[in-house]
Amino acid sequence: MKNQISQRELEIGGQCIPVTIVRERRHSIRFAVGKRAVTLRLPAILTEAEQAAQWERFTGWITRQLQQKPGLLDQFAIKTYRNEDIFWVGRRMYQLRLEETEGASHRGRLKDGILHLRLSSFASQTDRQKAIEHLLSRLIAGDFQSDITRRVLALNEQHFRVSIQGVRLKYNHSNWGSCSAKGNINLSTRLLFAPDEVIDYVIVHELAHRIELNHSPRFWKLVETAMPEYKLQEKWLNENGHLCRF
Mean pLDDT of the chain: 91
Length in residues, the chain: 246
Specify the pLDDT at position 127.
85
Own/partner pairs for 213-219, CB < 8 Å, 24+ apart?
Answer: 213/179, 213/181
Under the banding of pLDDT at 50, 70 and 90, the label for residue 203 is very high
Cα–Cα distance for residue pair 39/27, rounded to 1 Å: 16
For residues 160-168, average pLDDT: 96
Q: What is the pLDDT of residue 232?
A: 97
Query: Which of 42-51, 137-146, 154-163 is predicted least confidently?
Result: 42-51
Instruction: Give residue 104's pLDDT.
Output: 86
Q: What is the pLDDT of residues 44-78, one digit of tens each?
A: 888 889 989 999 999 999 888 888 877 777 777 66
Cβ(187)–Cβ(237) below 8 Å: no
Confidence of residue 159 (pLDDT cuts 50, 70, 90): very high
Torsion sign, CA atoms 135, 136, 139, 142:
negative
- Name the region of 183 (left: φ>0; alpha: ψ -120 to 50; beta: rest): left
Residue spans of the domains in the chain: they are 4-76, 86-243
Quick: pLDDT tens for 216-243: 999 999 999 999 999 999 999 988 887 8
- For 142-154, what is each residue's pLDDT tens digit? 999 999 999 999 9
86-243 maps to CATH 3.40.50.2300 = no
pLDDT band at 188 (very low <50, low <70, confident <90, very high): very high
How confident is residue 1, by pLDDT bands cut at 50, 70 and 90? low
Average pLDDT over residues 110-116: 97
Cβ atoms 170, 189 nearer than 8 A: yes
pLDDT in tens, 91-108: 999 999 999 999 889 999
